[in-house]
Structure 1
Amino acid sequence: MEIIKLGDLCDLQNGYAFKSDDYIDSSETLNCRMSNIRPDGTFDILYSAKYLPDEYAEIYEDYLLRDGDLIIAMTDMAGDPKILGVPTVVDTKGYNLLLNQRVGKLKLLKEVDTRYLKFALLCNQSRQYLKRFASGGVQLNVSKKDILCTPILFRGLTEQVKMSDTLEKVLRIISLRKKQLFELDELIKSRFIEMFGDPVENTMNWKVCKLGDLSDQINSGNTPKGGEQVYVDKGITFFRSQNVWKDRLEMDDIAFIDKETHENMKRSSLMHGDILITKTGRINTENSSLGRAALYLGEDDAANVNGHVYFIRLKPGVNNEFILKILVSNEYLGYIRSVCVGGIDKRQLNKNHIEDFPIICPPKDMQNKFIDFAHQVDKLKFVS
């Protein structure tokens, strides 16, 4: 076992810059783009499919992909750095696939298990290495040179195959578990619609209140003076937009500020049960950071938020879990995207938008009954 450069094992072929004018309604030839590489390393050629004329498969034969080819994302997808440097193995599903610009094809120079190479590039160390060299404004890019300089832990072919087989078994188990969790979430969503109908269209004619009237406080945080320079290793939890996701808080990339900075930002100090909602983001991406909402369940005055996150502190007696279920529903996502303001590249929710959010107000006993049901379903997620 040794550490070598990726370039010792393979070369990298860049894709072709097909134009939007090249796309047609349907064919047997597709453009393999960034969006077909999923953040978890899986490949989905039919995701946001773009079709090309069938004669392109012959004209651009040098860019034709085959089953088992290993490709890698050289640019983030619509500003989401989770895709940068992600590798995947191609599955053509019988289509002609043509490699697009900013997607690289790794051409093996030595006998290597393609699956092993994918897992090696997908590991956190390789991803972090490439992020260090990424550059750009709206989108981050990594060069062919930097990709081929990525350090790889190299093993003998027999050990590569053995490790790949084991990892694939683990991934199948994880995939099955994700499917189960998704189905439980869908059960909760279905129960909500059954009990309350569409929360935006108000198909059951419930009383509607503005979110501002149900709240004691709605405010965004601030960027502390000095920005990231004031972050510390331990201290007051500091939530940024990348930490606030749909009905959950992600702590992998959490920042901390010291007590003095926190005291200077006292106005945005969080209380247990506050709803956090993100302020800005693009509207045409799968995991847009615009309008994502989650509950803060930590201790009072032990966390703060930056300027890209609003906190909503509801009045006593208002069911924050029920309000959150409304805000994270697919129906409300469409509503949020309809009221936000800004340019094509990035949109924003203003405070007055959030204060004016229409919230259905069914009887409290029905709200509580639904939340009890959601809790019972959530418990099933932890049953082995």
Structure 2
Amino acid sequence: MEKYKIGDICEIVSGSTPKTENKDYWDGDLKWITPAEINEDSYIITDTVRKITSLAVKETNLSLFPEGTVILSSRAPIGKVAIAGCEMYCNQGFKNLICKNKINNKYLYWFLKGNTAFLQSLGRGATFKEISKQIVSNIEINVPDYDRQIEVATHLEKINKIIHLRRQELLKFDDLIKSRFIELFGDPDVNSKGWKECALSEKVNVVGGYAFKSDQFDEERGIPVLRIGNINAGFFRPVNLVYWHEDESLERYIVYPGELVMSLTGTVGKDDYGNICILGNDYGKYYLNQRNAKLEIMEGIDKYYLSQLLKFTQIKKRLTGISRGVRQANISNKDILNLVVPVPPMEIQERFAAFVTQTNKSKSAVQKSLDEAQLLFDSLMQKYFG
């Protein structure tokens, strides 16, 4: 296996943006892509949101890149990657890689896909980070023979499809639960079924987290400390876990499987806070870090009902719409307690809880399959690309 610099095996083409105020440049029939159109699941892109005119190409001197080009975002953010499924143009946020005979475009795609953190570490700039054409050109990649490249890319593609399908299955379960909620309880934003309403202060206690000293965390043993990244997805994620030794004085901040927790801090305008999570039994207990809260159920409301209710966009906005900062957004314990919500009869709430419990059993089986596929995928990426 030989090692090459990307600049030796690819032609690197940068993008450009025609003047947005010139109406003659836009609403044409030529495809023009931006980094915002590429997401985690992007692979082969065949269309773009915006189109430009031939006049824009001529007067702005845009470079056309051919079908099969590997599209790499070089800023805002660095590391998004896809393959052009047709000829197109792009904005200045890309360094596009037109592969020569030595390198297969799908093999290069997976190499870049598996090295996002490395690519981001190469960013330069004070206002925002960017990787230049020269930096991209000097990135080294191990290049096996061409048939082996195709074999590697095909293998990764198959596993990635399984991962994508499992994720889609999980989303369908979530949609099913949401549909059942609306069927039983109506639209919670307008309380379409006219249920009695009350402030959450009548139904729950809110316990804030403890300000653990980050320089004293243990990275291997102890009780896991729940930080925002562990609960913000709406379920427990054991990512970047840290631990704290057991301490009787911190009993108040212990959270057990099955309890409700919510993230309280995020970024203004982003959906990265106010997210509710029912903890699973990954661990026997957890400590709750600051800027998260535990919602202790008192009576008259079920945790599955409350959890789903707080996931509805308009209900959640009643909390996240209270911004206390220019860049950082915060929800206070008082905000949660003052939130007025519909409270249906417990008999119907319990019926919904039984449905969710049964559905979650199916979700768990799919989640296990997803975790296994992701583990295999990650190990193969490490094996192939280091």
Shift of 1:264: 6.9
In the TM superposition, 1:235-274 aligns within 5 A as 235-259=222-246, 267-274=252-259
**Residue among 310, 335, 349 paired with 2:331:** 349
In structure 2, the partner of 1:376 is 358
Note if contact 1:212-1:218 (Cα within 8 Å) is conserved in structure 2. Answer: no
Q: Is 2:67 the partner of 1:67?
A: yes
Shift of 1:3: 4.5
In structure 2, relative to structure 1, the CA distance for the partners of 1:341 and 1:42 (3 Å cut) is farther
| Matched AA of 2:39 | R
In structure 2, relative to structure 1, the CA distance for the partners of 1:135 and 1:373 (3 Å cut) is farther
Q: Is 2:112 the partner of 1:121?
A: yes
In structure 2, the partner of 1:215 is 204
Q: Is 2:281 the partner of 1:281?
A: no
Q: Is 2:311 the partner of 1:311?
A: no
User: Equivalent residue of 1:216, what SS?
Assistant: strand
In structure 2, the partner of 1:81 is none
Distance (Å, rounded) in 1 between the aligned partners of 2:283 and 2:165: 37
Which segment is superposed worse, 320-329 or 165-174? 165-174
Deviations 1:276-300 (A, max 9, x none): 2222334555xx3122221223489
In structure 2, the partner of 1:180 is 169
Distance (Å, rounded) in 1 between the aligned partners of 2:197 and 2:108: 55
In structure 2, relative to structure 1, the CA distance for the partners of 1:63 and 1:211 (3 Å cut) is farther
Structure 1: state its 5+ residue gaps.
78-83
In structure 1, the partner of 2:378 is none
Note if contact 1:232-1:258 (Cα within 8 Å) is conserved in structure 2. Answer: no
In structure 2, relative to structure 1, the CA distance for the partners of 1:25 and 1:146 (3 Å cut) is closer
Distance (Å, rounded) in 2 between the aligned partners of 1:149 and 1:26: 37
In the TM superposition, 1:184-195 aligns within 5 A as 184-195=173-184
Structure 2: state its 5+ residue gaps.
370-386
In structure 2, relative to structure 1, the CA distance for the partners of 1:100 and 1:316 (3 Å cut) is same
Note if contact 1:120-1:153 (Cα within 8 Å) is conserved in structure 2. Answer: no
Q: Is 2:278 the partner of 1:295?
A: yes
Distance (Å, rounded) in 2 between the aligned partners of 1:298 and 1:376: 16
Deviations 1:86-117 (A, max 9, x none): 3211235xxx7432223221233443110111
Distance (Å, rounded) in 1 between the aligned partners of 2:191 and 2:35: 38
User: Equivalent residue of 2:97, what SS?
Assistant: strand
In structure 2, relative to structure 1, the CA distance for the partners of 1:117 and 1:192 (3 Å cut) is same
Distance (Å, rounded) in 2 between the aligned partners of 1:346 and 1:136: 23
Distance (Å, rounded) in 2 between the aligned partners of 1:193 and 1:360: 13
TM-score by length of 1: 0.80
Distance (Å, rounded) in 2 between the aligned partners of 1:311 and 1:27: 53
Q: Is 2:94 the partner of 1:100?
A: no
Which segment is superposed worse, 310-319 or 242-251? 310-319
Distance (Å, rounded) in 1 between the aligned partners of 2:282 and 2:300: 19
Shift of 1:27: 4.0
User: Equivalent residue of 1:294, what SS?
Assistant: strand
In structure 2, relative to structure 1, the CA distance for the partners of 1:115 and 1:136 (3 Å cut) is same
In structure 2, relative to structure 1, the CA distance for the partners of 1:140 and 1:313 (3 Å cut) is farther
Shift of 1:184: 2.6
Deviations 1:206-244 (A, max 9, x none): 11222233222331442x33x356443332212222222
Which segment is superposed worse, 315-324 or 190-199? 315-324
In structure 1, the partner of 2:384 is none
Shift of 1:367: 1.0
User: Equivalent residue of 2:208, what SS?
Assistant: strand
Q: Is 2:194 the partner of 1:205?
A: yes
| Matched AA of 2:103 | V
Distance (Å, rounded) in 2 between the aligned partners of 1:334 and 1:44: 33
| Matched AA of 2:94 | V
RMSD value, Cα: 3.3
In structure 2, relative to structure 1, the CA distance for the partners of 1:16 and 1:284 (3 Å cut) is farther
Shift of 1:161: 1.4
Distance (Å, rounded) in 1 between the aligned partners of 2:256 and 2:237: 18
Distance (Å, rounded) in 2 between the aligned partners of 1:110 and 1:368: 63
Which segment is superposed worse, 299-308 or 368-377? 299-308
Q: Is 2:219 the partner of 1:232?
A: yes
Give the total of aligned pairs. 365
Deviations 1:323-353 (A, max 9, x none): 111112234344444333433x443323322
TM-score by length of 2: 0.80
| Matched AA of 1:368 | E
Shift of 1:158: 0.9
In structure 2, relative to structure 1, the CA distance for the partners of 1:232 and 1:170 (3 Å cut) is closer
Distance (Å, rounded) in 1 between the aligned partners of 2:341 and 2:158: 45
Seq. identity, %: 22
| Matched AA of 2:173 | L
Distance (Å, rounded) in 2 between the aligned partners of 1:136 and 1:58: 30
Distance (Å, rounded) in 2 between the aligned partners of 1:267 and 1:146: 51
Note if contact 2:18-2:60 (Cα within 8 Å) is conserved in structure 1. Answer: no
Q: Is 2:81 the partner of 1:87?
A: yes
In the TM superposition, 1:151-166 aligns within 5 A as 151-166=140-155
